[in-house]
Amino acid sequence: MGNTCVFCNSVGGELLWQNDLCRIVLVDDLNYVGFCRVILNKHIKEMTDLSEAERINVMQITFVVEQVLRDVLQPTKINLASLGNKTPHIHWHVIPRFENDVHFPETVWSAEVRRAEKPNIQDLALTLKAKLADALR
């Protein structure tokens, strides 16, 4: 039986940046402008299965994504999450939250509290790619 992991078999979104350890993708979710994932490039399910250096590097990259999103989008809050119950492959969700998003102040997995306002995000991926490239040199 082959590997059915979605992150082993696809990039997982629009590729913004990558190195040998992990990649950063922009998730196609109009309800959450700037929703990014930091995805490990190898199939490992728990952070403690990584070396200490790898753990530190993944978190440093995740924090850079958070800071770039804060700088570019100026959200009300950033949510960081690493669940992996459905996809047991190390990945971090970095989700900018705004007071007018469909779930705020609840979690992104809660029932909607308002209708979505569809944003214009045409240039967002290009801006994020450039900022991440500068921040992760």
Q: Residue 90 belongs to a domain with what CATH number? A: 3.30.428.10
Inside any domain, residue 108: yes
Q: What counts of helices (H) and strands (E) characterise the chain?
A: 3, 5
Instruction: Identify the burial level of 17 via C-beta atoms within 10 angstroms of its C-beta, where 0-12 means exposed, 13-18 middle and 19 or more buried.
Output: buried
Domain range for 23 is: 6-135
Q: Which amino acid is at 57?
A: N
pLDDT at 11: 95
How many C-beta atoms surround the C-beta of residue 8 within 10 A? Answer: 16
The pLDDT-based confidence of 1 (bands split at 50, 70, 90) is very low
Q: Decide if 1 is inside a domain.
A: no
**Would you place residue 88 in the very low, low, confident or very high pLDDT band (cuts 50, 70, 90)?**
very high
Q: Report the domain count for the chain.
A: 1
Q: What is the per-residue pLDDT across 18-57, written as a single tens digit (0 to 9) for each? A: 999 999 999 988 889 999 999 999 999 999 999 999 999 9
Per the domain annotation, does 109 fall within a domain? Answer: yes
Round to whole Å and give the CA distance between 84 and 89: 6
32 inside domain:
yes
61 domain residue, yes or no = yes
